[in-house]
Structure 1
């Protein structure tokens, strides 16, 4: 299902809810206090946001002897718009359903998980996802973005939590960090790679990024000990290097520019260049040739780093 259609469907559902609930009941429960815990890049445009709450928001209405809870979602405003009401459409927002919850033992608090995507609800191109380079530029002038949990239930008016403030530095770090670290997966014995060590953990060792469908695809699996150097581990590789993005015309660095590095084995590692134009660090067992996909008029210089 296309992101633009999902946004339209969500907006249509909320409008129908508002129309049906013009004379709705009100749940007499104080707004929940929610506090940010972490954000992690999941895949493609999805980010896992964890936060705590002093109330069980997934079963809120049931816990107070009511039924009809429709959806429980997290909304974050990226443009300073603090109107989180269901009748209002925030132009630039992070949005996602709350998918999981656990009770923090002895603390009487609940930890929630929402997988959100950052959307431009006024985009008319058919794809509402905000490009990562644009998202960084939107967030950099801000220290925090405000978020609220919104719960809809029939025949009640919408329920809203208190405001939670998420540090933009934490979001930017995840937006800039390419998701290339291998994940451990469970495979049936018949599907495992041939090896004498049948009980070794199996990891995804290569991803491929496709435009359609717009999700990462598993390209290869293997033993975790054969996984490529990625993320922080790249600095410990026998060979490592960065590229620096520059403009061809005047050879000046290009900061905060979206790029995709293509490794020697075909792996694609997307990222956003640093303030000095550098890409992320690449590590490998042997020297390899890198290719880079960038915009017109931009090139790359190879920068070898000292071996560790």
Structure 2
């Protein structure tokens, strides 16, 4: 499944709301150069699950999730990255989604210590690479939502 490459280890380093947009910039480090793992790919990004559903496979739809394209954090050192994550909830009605913000999104994180995220790369329609799971503290997300 991982193209005979080891699953990258991700290390959470912070989160901020991106200029009052409802987009949350998740910062993290990796033990490998993520964006150079493959010479070509179809898509890549940080995929997060808000609930306990850690099935990150392509064909599985996570009910409450976040997704953001990953890019190098130019203000950081080597192997530092950021992803502009947008959270969504699938309503189960033919692809319909809602994009919660503020207090609604904050309630998602109540009574949870963390959300789980992976770096996922589709190299072909049938092959996908996954990093190890990174935990993002919900207390940090709540501070970003509340602009504290």
User: Which position in structure 1 is the counterpart of 2:51?
Assistant: 79
Q: Which residue of 2 aligns with 1:69?
A: 41
| Contact kept in structure 2, 1:26 and 1:156, CA below 8 Å | no
Report the count of equivalent residues. 145
Q: Distance in 2 between matches of 1:101 and 1:176?
A: 24
| Structure 2 CA distance for aligned equivalents of residues 121 and 166 of structure 1 | 21
Which residue in 1 is equivalent to 2:142? 172
Q: Whose helix fraction is larger, Structure 1's or Structure 2's?
A: 1
**1:176-233 per-position Cα deviation (integer Å, ceiling 9, x unaligned):** 11xxxxxxxxxxxxxxxxxxxxxxxxxxxxxxxxxxxxxxxxxxxxxxxxxxxxx7xx
* Residues 214-253 of structure 1: pairs in structure 2 closer than 5 A: none
Deviation at 1:131, TM superposition (A): 3.2
Deviation of the 1:127 alpha carbon: 5.6
Distance in 2 between residues matched to 1:157 and 1:123, nearest whole Å = 26
Q: CA RMSD in A?
A: 2.2
Within the alignment, does 1:57 sit opposite 2:34 as a pair?
A: yes
Considering Cα pairs closer than 8 Å and 6+ residues apart, tell me whether 1 or 2 has the greater RCO. 2
Match of 2:129? 159
Could you tell me which runs of 5 or more consecutive residues in structure 2 were left unpaired when the two chains were aligned.
none
* TM-score when normalising by structure 2: 0.87
Aligned ranges for residues 258-297 of structure 1 at < 5 Å? none
Following superposition, which runs of at least 4 residues in structure 1 exceed 4 angstroms of deviation?
123-127
Task: Compute the TM-score of the two structures, normalised by the length of structure 1.
Answer: 0.44
SS at structure 1 position matched to 2:91: coil
1:89 is matched with 61
